[in-house]
Structure 1
């Protein structure tokens, strides 16, 4: 089958690889679309370098085929799988297994869900990781309720565009932070207030008028812990997730600095801070499907690329300020 294979860090290319063979409890899916996440860039580059020694492979990648989010049609099911059958349209997240930039994937049945009715494979493939992160961050960790005041820093990104919509679906008051060119997009997704960070610093207004948010959802890692705490209401929750940039390129430097500072502060104060780790979850995918089918959630796609242009798509993520999601059609 065709797949995007990686033999060394920094390079990917279309190649012929063996089709995966599924065992008990797994499902073989013919991939129609996949989507790119920030972690695909980091893994392709082997960034951060220390992770090569612990997870990725010291000299060369242990995993040859990248990509985690996909949508497609069930080709066959392994022993013990009763929920799905050939022909079902599904979407899912391969997590640490990877392999979505390919013609076929073999996924555990517990990490896939029926594709939401009424949308295409591209829109479904955009959902898994970014949508699950937004849903878990706001509903489960942030405990957003009707009337909650929510700040989303990085509202025009993959997670952010879903987070704005999910916040409104939970009947929260959503303040979204984004750049000038994305103000219209974020407002169209339902944000109650939009802060253009190129014109206004959400944390630097006069102290008497600094708003207090019940949940601050930081998806960028470009602000100090002091800035974020300054706008957090007493008893509120700071939720940290996502990539960021350093020196104009995608980097984990900013987010890691923020996470370390928050972890230290949490030990010596009453700060409620959660660093999101979102494992593949059918329950989260089912929640996303329900929101899509209820008309409360939609995927925003920046660009689409065919499978053989995955390297170009990842380079676009590296060089540009991408809005929402980049999708691969297979």
Structure 2
């Protein structure tokens, strides 16, 4: 490779059409260049998340197909390089950047802009970027970003303290495992809904009780059920209509995933009982990423890594995420 090619191209996983994991291929792409207020980050690790699965397959929650089309694309993908987040080293900075310098190790969340399944990505200095905790490897740092970022945004909407009862549906995924840890760290009593094979994991993360959804319907109404101050829905199968009898008056339902009907209904029906229902979470920004990094540094947020792949194995990573059985994060190393 010539010097010019090194400066202008990079390796990236590209998506040319919707479909199975095989529609993703690794090849050369143009390397982005930072503007005056951006960082260019040489990524060392990223993850394949449920968001990547949705953009690749165009499988979005029911009723949201047309709503999502402007971002995802109707017939062909609008986003060609997936990957919402990553960890790496600052390669270069724009002329107006003051908080970072080349050589800094950072954590980056590009969110809906995607682009982290590649050797390089840019991020605004005022965007979701923070210094990586020194004690974490790049793979560990990448593993905490997606779940930790989402968990903090939603949990900030409620008052978690000792005595508060929290139920987490989908407690072993990237977001759910982070919610369990952070709620427990704030003193809440956590009940985790997961499969039987993951009960030991969620207990190790701080859950006081685990419900195996393959053996027990945690929403069943034919028997008395515990009631909760906060229900965090990370799967998409527990809208307000299904869990309202589990939520105490004045409680909250945090919909990390919801279909269109659930989102519309959630904004109307709960108000009579004073229940907060939210499907968007709190604000993003550098302060949020700094908090995620601090939580990881303190040990309140530990990385949960299911499997690790190389960038050239990204099809296998997508294939595994498609099984729906991943625990925590599926990490991709970028050599």
Q: Answer yes or no: same fold by TM over 0.5.
A: yes
Distance in 1 (CA, whole Å) between partners of 2:328 and 2:208 is 19
Q: Show the counterpart of 1:108.
A: 124
Q: SS of the counterpart of 1:126?
A: helix
In the superposition, relative to structure 1, how do residues 81 and 286 fare at CA in structure 2: closer, same or farther (>3 Å)? Answer: same
| Paired residues of 1:178 and 1:196 also in contact (CA < 8 A) | yes
Within 5 Å, give how 1:186-225 maps onto structure 2: 186-204=202-220, 209-225=224-240
Is the counterpart of residue 152 in structure 1 residue 152 in structure 2? no
After TM superposition, give the deviation of residue 94 of structure 1 in Å: 0.7
After TM superposition, give the deviation of residue 194 of structure 1 in Å: 1.2
Q: Show the counterpart of 2:3.
A: none
Is the counterpart of residue 171 in structure 1 residue 187 in structure 2? yes
Q: Show the counterpart of 1:300.
A: 304
Is the counterpart of residue 44 in structure 1 residue 61 in structure 2? no
After TM superposition, give the deviation of residue 241 of structure 1 in Å: 0.6
Q: Show the counterpart of 1:319.
A: 323
Q: Show the counterpart of 1:143.
A: 159
Distance in 2 (CA, whole Å) between partners of 1:137 and 1:58 is 30
Distance in 2 (CA, whole Å) between partners of 1:269 and 1:54 is 35
Distance in 1 (CA, whole Å) between partners of 2:272 and 2:247 is 17
Within 5 Å, give how 1:65-104 maps onto structure 2: 65-104=81-120
Distance in 2 (CA, whole Å) between partners of 1:224 and 1:102 is 36
Match 1:122 to one of 115, 139, 148: 139
After TM superposition, give the deviation of residue 268 of structure 1 in Å: 5.7
Match 1:229 to one of 244, 253, 267: 244
Q: Show the counterpart of 2:5.
A: none
Residue-by-residue CA offset, 1:126-170 (whole Å, 9 max, x unaligned)? 2222111111212x1122223211111111111011111101111
Distance in 1 (CA, whole Å) between partners of 2:263 and 2:157 is 16
Q: Show the counterpart of 1:258.
A: 262
Residue-by-residue CA offset, 1:83-114 (whole Å, 9 max, x unaligned)? 11111110111122211000111111222100
**How high is the TM-score relative to the length of structure 2?**
0.89
Distance in 2 (CA, whole Å) between partners of 1:136 and 1:277 is 5
Is the counterpart of residue 273 in structure 1 residue 277 in structure 2? yes
Using the TM superposition, name which of 310-319 and 261-270 deviates more: 261-270
After TM superposition, give the deviation of residue 8 of structure 1 in Å: 1.8
| Paired residues of 2:254 and 2:279 also in contact (CA < 8 A) | yes
Distance in 1 (CA, whole Å) between partners of 2:135 and 2:69 is 44
After TM superposition, give the deviation of residue 42 of structure 1 in Å: 1.0
Aligned-residue RMSD, C-alpha: 1.9
Using the TM superposition, name which of 106-115 and 49-58 deviates more: 49-58
Distance in 2 (CA, whole Å) between partners of 1:191 and 1:286 is 25
After TM superposition, give the deviation of residue 269 of structure 1 in Å: 5.2
After TM superposition, give the deviation of residue 298 of structure 1 in Å: 0.4
In the superposition, relative to structure 1, how do residues 78 and 224 fare at CA in structure 2: closer, same or farther (>3 Å)? Answer: closer
| Paired residues of 2:148 and 2:301 also in contact (CA < 8 A) | no
Aligned pair count reads 317
After TM superposition, give the deviation of residue 51 of structure 1 in Å: 4.7
| Unaligned runs of at least 5 residues, structure 1 | 243-253
| Paired residues of 2:85 and 2:145 also in contact (CA < 8 A) | yes
**How high is the TM-score relative to the length of structure 1?**
0.90
Q: Show the counterpart of 1:7.
A: 16
Distance in 2 (CA, whole Å) between partners of 1:87 and 1:299 is 23
Q: Show the counterpart of 1:249.
A: none
After TM superposition, give the deviation of residue 60 of structure 1 in Å: 2.0
| Paired residues of 1:221 and 1:258 also in contact (CA < 8 A) | no
Distance in 2 (CA, whole Å) between partners of 1:105 and 1:218 is 31
